[in-house]
Amino acid sequence: MNRSLVSRRDLNRRALAWALMPWLSAAAQAQAVSGAVQGAGPRWQVDPFSLGVASGQPQPGSVVLWTRLRITEADAAFKAQSMSVVCEVFGDAALRQPVRQWRVQTDASRAHSVHVVASGLQPGRHYWYRFVCGSATSPVGHACTSPGINDPVDRLRIALASCQHYEQGYFVAHREMAQRDLDLVLFVGDYIYESSNPQYMLRKHVGAVPTLLDEYRERHAQYKSDADLRACHAAHTWLMTWDDHEVVNDYANDLDNKFNDPQVFLRRRAAAYQAYFEHMPVRLGPDPASPSQMRIHDRMAWGQLADLWTLDCRQYRDHQACPDPNRGGGRVVVGCEALANPSRSMLGVAQEQWFTEGLTRSTRRWKLVGQSTQMSSSGVNTPLGRSAFTDGWDGYPQARARILATVAEAGLSNVVVLGGDVHMNVAAQLRVQPNDERSPVVASEIVTTSITSRGLGEKLLAQIRESNPDIVHARSDERGYTLLDVRPEGVSAEFRTTANPARADGVFKTQAQWAIRSGVAGVQKA
Ligand SMILES: [Fe+2]
């Protein structure tokens, strides 16, 4: 038996015990530092691993392991230095079975972040890892590799999450996710927020709205100062995509919501993307030849059970149709003719083609599509016609119809679109012609509510429900995440929620559970 092989039940016990252990506390870290083998290197006054550790983008033989040295004034002499960091990977939670280790250099040009693509690992296995730099040792993280691409796999458990405005609540959803037995966390955007709403402030951002690299770095570091968020990163391997607030509200490609000169905005976007990369367990950073570009869209397989896409709905999209010339960004419109233009795209031509080609060729049981927002229509019928919010998929209806027509024409029955952004739990049927019973249901949609960000008022939500029979569940009054249990015969989606706002002592319950049966497009009451 390979030393990293542990039974599922054994693993579940270990994962739970691990999640509940106080290793993430500062006191325990100090013990770990004193007990660690100390190589040459800096002797730290203050723990540089205060932002925690993370793993992401698993492949059958590899996974990305991340940390960043956060160097304080007490260790100011190290700020300008290149640092050597060792990453150790183990096959067991007690760290008695070393598997491999890597030594990497990092410096201030990348905010002393560390990304190790831990390769040469076994598929479908669980690993534990930590980083060492001089006298300091990081907390321990748990990571998994994905199963072999043709392995028969009978289960995939995902926590779907998005929209964690730091000021609007506590990250208690991450505390519960950290303690669960999961394969992956799928985070679909609004990891940080650049802006504030003084109406809803349980805690405060440090600093003003970021526009420069150091300001975005500070914002990311503040979010990772949250112990619950760090615990969820340490406990699970994440897949990620982004939405707008990682840069600025409602940006579209090279245009921000104030119509600034695209060249000026692209410099801001480059700063935001660089800071995003420096704080996330992702394989690729900004393109060195064109730093305002960074590929985040990706596709992975979970054995024969599922293909899982993470799509980028921001970087390549066409600008919002019919904008308010004084305001920019998205808005609610009625009678906007530009929406009918078939050349407009949410994903950009290249990504849309890559995605739909992959979708039609996929032979795996489930096709799970992680993307930023709600795909089903949420327009409202008014005396002047149907409304459309131009920042969401309703602002790109031809692109949506094109993707769903591809699903229909290829006869794919097991496409499940997973989204966030709208701060409400949604279960919906997807048709080529939304809400038209003559247009068959071709795919299913599950949208998760926000971790903390405020949702729509009940009055507007009632109008949305009334105007959209395809939406079979919509609730914006609670915060949380969604637990997806993917099995060969079906997918179950459990909306896990706490009262709004998410308080530090928030208690979770199941708001509703929806099911999707293999071979039958559409969501059904579980
Ligand atoms: Fe959001």
What separation in Å is there between the alpha carbon of 453 and the centre of ligand 1? 6
Q: Check whether 519 has a pLDDT greater than 90.
A: yes
- 12 or 250, greater pLDDT: 250
For 110, list phi and psi in degrees, rounded to 5: -125, 30
Boundary of a domain, candidates 85, 112, 144: 144
Helices H / strands E in the chain, number of each: 9, 25
- Torsion (CA) 317, 403, 188, 495 in degrees, nearest 10: 140
Q: How far is the CA of 167 from the centre of ligand 1 (A)?
A: 12
Strands 237-240 and 53-59: parallel
Domain boundary among 144, 170, 200: 144
Does 114 share its domain with 169? no
CA-to-CA distance for 517 and 345, rounded, in angstroms?
Answer: 30
pLDDT digits (tens, 9 = 90+) for 156-207: 999 999 999 999 999 999 999 999 999 999 999 999 999 999 999 999 999 9
**Residue 276: inside a domain:** no
Based on the domain organization, do 470 and 412 belong to the same domain? Answer: yes
Q: Is residue 416 part of a domain?
A: yes
Distance from the alpha carbon of residue 337 to the mean position of ligand 1, in angstroms: 27
Tokens of 62: 């590899």
Tell me how far the alpha carbon of residue 4 lies from the centroid of ligand 1, in angstroms: 39
Q: Could you tell me the distance, in angstroms and rounded to a whole number, from the CA of residue 193 to the centre of ligand 1? A: 8
pLDDT at 90 over 50: yes
Contact between 34 and 22 under an 8 Å Cβ cutoff? The reply is no
The per-residue pLDDT for 97 is 97
Clarify whether residues 134 and 248 are in a common domain: no
Q: Residue 94 Cα, ligand 1 centroid: separation in angstroms?
A: 38
Which pLDDT score is estimated for 413? 87
CA–centroid distance, residue 192 to ligand 1 (Å): 9
pLDDT at 368: 98
Cα–Cα distance between 277 and 242 in angstroms, integer? 11
pLDDT score of 39: 60
Helix, strand, coil % over all residues of the chain, rounded to 5? 25, 30, 50
The CA 223 to ligand 1 mean position distance, Å, reads: 15
Backbone angles phi, psi at 419, to 5 degrees: -145, -175
Q: Residue 352 — φ and ψ, nearest 5°?
A: -60, -40
User: Is 506 in a helix, a strand, or coil?
Assistant: coil
- Mean pLDDT within 350-363: 98
Domain shared by 376 and 482, yes or no? yes
My answer on whether omega of the bond before 501 falls inside 30° of 0, hence cis, is yes
Give residue-wise pLDDT tens across range 391-450: 999 999 999 999 999 999 999 989 999 999 999 999 999 999 999 999 999 999 999 999
CATH, residue 197 = 3.60.21.70
Answer whether 0.75 is exceeded by the pTM.
Answer: yes
Tell how far the Cα of 161 is from the centroid of ligand 1, in angstroms: 11
Instruction: Write the single-letter amino acid at 118.
Output: A
Q: List the strands of the sheet with 298-302, edge to edge.
A: 298-302, 306-310, 366-370, 415-419, 441-447, 425-431, 471-475
Distance 422 CA to ligand 1 centre (A): 6
Tell me, what CATH number does 68's domain have? 2.60.40.380
**pLDDT of 38 over the 60 cut:** no
For range 346-364, the mean pLDDT: 98
Q: How far is the CA of 67 from the centre of ligand 1 (A)?
A: 25
Q: Note whether 335 and 387 are same-domain residues.
A: yes
Ligand 1 center to 60 CA (angstroms): 32
Task: Look up residue 36 and give its DSSP letter.
Answer: S
In angstroms, what is the span from residue 413 Cα to ligand 1's centroid? 30
CA of 454 to the centre of ligand 1 (A): 8
128 lies in the same domain as 41: yes
Residues 176 and 207 in one domain: yes
Cβ neighbours, 10 Å, residue 56: 23
State in Å: Cα 164 to ligand 1 middle. 7
- The yes-or-no verdict on residue 480 having pLDDT over 70 is yes
Segment 134-154 shows an average pLDDT of: 97
Which of 144, 167, 187 represents a domain boundary (last residue)? Answer: 144
* Nearest 10 degrees: Cα torsion 428, 489, 308, 302: 160
Question: Per-residue pLDDT for 9 more than 70?
Answer: no
- Cα 166 to ligand 1 centre (Å): 11
